[in-house]
């Protein structure tokens, strides 16, 4: 594990690594001796090509390069550095100064331009200014990233669907860390660590499922700390893992931890000709990983609570049906009809889920109605019918106290309203009736007509369809009936195809 070239903490001179690039040996020796006397750590390169190898391998905080050299020029080196690490300051020197060359160097991103022969004190002052400017740029960069990170954490905290959250965690991490690609790994219910989201190929799932990545991820889980590995650089765990694949310049594996345990790992890579992950990147990823861990854990807890609520509510629905021997399975069947009808109508996944659970719970208000009334084979008295008519309001009150079921309340409350306004409990009509309630009305009536009841036997699907068609514009929304007819036709076609 090595330090990277973009560290923003205030460094002592001996912690600052300078790179002198010049093909003249005497220049390198004079500058090197002077700068070491000033307390800097100095590296020497006699060509731009050697300088590139040193920058890739070691931590360099500033480059002092001659312009005119055999092979790559100092300007070529400057261009490469701007692509590799745009915050690495470069001072250019030349013994053949012209105004045009000075302007070109500054346009390309050199911090300053010096002419030979130069005063050593002048170089010392320009290096100080360049390093101070570098620190200010890094602080601004960190501030900008923290502002972005604040916005991202708000987005993650407001995301409640697991799959959506997982994708956002990886997408935002890759973007903010300026990584090429990555994966999000989480433990499943059997405590097996696996990839749940991956970047697109060729830097996707196939890459991260082989070589160093599974082993490094497991190490991060066991040790609870991040792991940074750079290509062609020795690190403490070099013998423990396979080498990085060709073309991968830098790799980081970061644990996702809650106060109780590690729940997963974030893997990120940078490719060839990219700077290694820096201390700034580590700090940013650390904050993002912490927020991601909290968000993922909270969403999992939310879904566990929701599932437990649903199990309880489903038990209530079954308890209602247990009171009425003729309606066993009615709510489950209504739920299935609402889902296929909602899909036919082009509803979103969230809207489909709402009508699905409304279908399951639409008759839960019957829990308070006596078994005698529910199972009475003869015509109901006005009092008994009034009791039956109370179940939408009772059901709505029951689910209104469960936060994630509140969107279902209008559907349960109004599923017995008529399109012409002659239904109950509120006598509303047309598009005043909630969209989900109009779906539920068609599904509920069709299922009821094709099932046995204490006062009649089940109708055939054909007769039930005729009843729905006759009720268009009266009891039912015509659009819902037409869509339901399309669903039934499609099912019949599929059934006939399967038989043949």
pLDDT tens by residue, 23-63: 999 999 999 999 999 889 999 999 999 999 998 888 899 99
Domain range for 450: 324-499
Q: Give the CATH number of the domain where residue 280 resides.
A: 3.30.450.40
For the cut 60, the answer to whether the pLDDT of residue 279 exceeds it is: yes
Q: Give the CATH number of the domain where residue 387 resides.
A: 1.10.3210.10
pLDDT band of 418, cuts 50, 70, 90: very high
Residue 315 is predicted with a pLDDT of 79
Last residue of a domain, one of 80, 111, 139: 139
Shared-domain flag, residues 333 and 273: no
Span 320-346, average pLDDT: 83
In a domain, residue 1? The reply is no
Alpha helix positions (H), 264-390? 279-323, 330-344, 349-361, 371-374, 382-389
In a domain, residue 339? The reply is yes
H or E segment and range at residue 249: strand 248-257
Q: State the total domains in the chain.
A: 3
Question: What contacts 394, CB < 8 A, 6 or more positions away?
Answer: 364, 365, 366, 367, 368
Question: What contacts 229, CB < 8 A, 6 or more positions away?
Answer: 1, 212, 216, 235, 237, 241, 244, 250, 251, 252
- Distance (Å, whole) CA 190 – CA 331: 32
Last residue of a domain, one of 139, 173, 191: 139
> How many residues are there in the chain?
500
pLDDT band of 178, cuts 50, 70, 90: confident
Range among 13-22, 234-243, 294-303, 335-344 rated most confident: 335-344
Range among 106-120, 349-363, 447-461 rated most confident: 349-363
Who has greater pLDDT, 157 or 44? 44
Residue 145 is predicted with a pLDDT of 63
Who has greater pLDDT, 62 or 158? 62
Last residue of a domain, one of 108, 139, 170: 139
Shared-domain flag, residues 92 and 220: no
In a domain, residue 364? The reply is yes
In a domain, residue 301? The reply is no
In a domain, residue 194? The reply is yes
Shared-domain flag, residues 100 and 169: no
Residue 8 is predicted with a pLDDT of 36
Span 226-252, average pLDDT: 81
Q: Give the CATH number of the domain where residue 100 resides.
A: 3.40.50.2300
Share of the chain above pLDDT 90, in %: 42
Shared-domain flag, residues 198 and 279: yes
pLDDT band of 452, cuts 50, 70, 90: confident
Query: Which tokens sit at 368?
Result: 């308070």
- Distance (Å, whole) CA 248 – CA 251: 7
In a domain, residue 6? The reply is no
Shared-domain flag, residues 232 and 273: yes
Residue 383 is predicted with a pLDDT of 92
Residue 14 is predicted with a pLDDT of 58
Span 124-153, average pLDDT: 75
In a domain, residue 8? The reply is no
Span 272-282, average pLDDT: 77
For the cut 70, the answer to whether the pLDDT of residue 217 exceeds it is: yes
For the cut 50, the answer to whether the pLDDT of residue 174 exceeds it is: yes
Residue 10 is predicted with a pLDDT of 44
As a whole number, the mean pLDDT across the chain is 85
Shared-domain flag, residues 330 and 265: no
Q: Are 342 and 356 in contact (CB under 8 A)?
A: yes
Nearest to 445 by CA among 424, 464, 423: 464
Shared-domain flag, residues 167 and 255: yes
Whether the predicted model's global pTM rises above the 0.75 cut: no
In a domain, residue 316? The reply is no
Span 359-371, average pLDDT: 86
Who has greater pLDDT, 306 or 436? 436
CA distances from 150 to 7, 266, 283, 298 (A): 22, 19, 14, 18
Nearest to 365 by CA among 382, 383, 332, 390: 390
Shared-domain flag, residues 484 and 353: yes
Residue 147 is predicted with a pLDDT of 58
Q: Are 451 and 473 in contact (CB under 8 A)?
A: no
The terminus-to-terminus CA distance of the chain in angstroms comes to 66
pLDDT band of 4, cuts 50, 70, 90: very low
Shared-domain flag, residues 135 and 185: no
Residue 5 is predicted with a pLDDT of 36
Nearest to 277 by CA among 223, 346, 229: 229
Span 272-291, average pLDDT: 80
Shared-domain flag, residues 341 and 481: yes
- Distance (Å, whole) CA 356 – CA 347: 12
Span 257-262, average pLDDT: 89
Residue 3 is predicted with a pLDDT of 39
The DSSP symbol for 421 reads S
Residue 438 is predicted with a pLDDT of 97
Shared-domain flag, residues 41 and 97: yes
Shared-domain flag, residues 407 and 357: yes
3-state secondary structure of 112: strand
- Distance (Å, whole) CA 159 – CA 143: 25
Query: Parallel, antiparallel, or unpaired for β 17-21 and 62-66?
Result: parallel
């Amino acid at each position: 594990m090595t330090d990277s070239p973009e560290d923003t903490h205030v460094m002592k001179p001996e912690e600052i690594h300078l790179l002198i690039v010049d093909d003249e040996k005497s220049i390198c020796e004079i500058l090197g001796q002077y700068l070491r006397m000033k307390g800097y750590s100095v590296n020497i390169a006699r060509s731009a090509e050697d300088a590139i190898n040193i920058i890739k391998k070691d931590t360099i905080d500033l480059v002092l390069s001659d312009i005119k050299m055999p092979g790559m020029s100092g300007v070529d080196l400057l261009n490469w550095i701007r692509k590799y690490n745009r915050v690495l300051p470069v001072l250019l020197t030349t013994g053949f100064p012209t105004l045009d060359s000075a302007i070109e160097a500054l346009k390309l991103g050199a911090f300053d331009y010096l002419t030979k022969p130069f005063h050593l004190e002048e170089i010392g002052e320009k290096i100080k200014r360049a390093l101070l400017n570098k620190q200010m740029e890094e602080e601004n960069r960190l501030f900008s990233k923290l502002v972005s990170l604040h916005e991202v954490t708000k987005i993650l905290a407001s995301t409640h669907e697991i799959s959506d959250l997982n994708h956002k965690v990886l997408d935002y991490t890759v973007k903010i860390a300026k990584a090429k690609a990555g994966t999000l790994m989480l433990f499943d219910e059997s405590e097996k660590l696996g990839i749940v989201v991956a970047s697109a190929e060729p830097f996707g799932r196939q890459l991260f499922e082989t070589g160093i990545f599974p082993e490094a991820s497991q190490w991060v889980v066991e040790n609870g700390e991040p792991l940074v590995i750079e290509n062609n650089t020795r690190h403490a765990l070099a013998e423990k893992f396979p080498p990085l694949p060709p073309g991968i310049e830098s790799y980081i594996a970061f644990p996702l931890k809650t106060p109780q345990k590690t729940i997963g790992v974030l893997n990120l890579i940078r490719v060839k000709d990219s700077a290694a992950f820096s201390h700034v990147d580590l700090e940013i990823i650390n904050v993002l990983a912490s927020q991601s861990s909290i968000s993922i854990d909270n969403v999992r807890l939310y879904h566990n609570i929701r599932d437990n609520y649903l199990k309880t509510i489903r038990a209530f629905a079954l308890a209602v049906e247990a009171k009425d021997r003729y309606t066993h399975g009615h709510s489950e069947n209504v739920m299935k009809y609402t889902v296929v009808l909602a899909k036919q109508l082009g509803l979103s996944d969230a809207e489909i889920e709402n009508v699905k659970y409304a279908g399951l719970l639409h008759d839960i208000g019957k829990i308070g109605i006596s078994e005698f009334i529910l199972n009475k084979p003869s015509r109901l008295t006005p009092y008994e019918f009034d009791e039956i008519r109370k179940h939408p309001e009772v059901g709505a009150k029951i689910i209104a106290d469960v936060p994630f079921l509140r969107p279902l309340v209008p559907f349960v409350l109004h599923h017995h309203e008529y399109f012409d306004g002659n239904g109950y409990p509120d006598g509303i009509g047309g598009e005043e009736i909630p969209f989900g309630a109009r779906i539920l009305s068609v599904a509920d009536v069709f299922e009821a007509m094709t099932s046995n009841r204490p006062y009649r036997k089940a109708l055939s699907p054909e007769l039930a369809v005729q009843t729905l068609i006759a009720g268009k514009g009266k009891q039912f929304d015509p659009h819902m009936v037409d869509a339901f007819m399309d669903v039934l036709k499609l099912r019949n076609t599929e059934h006939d195809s399967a038989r043949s």
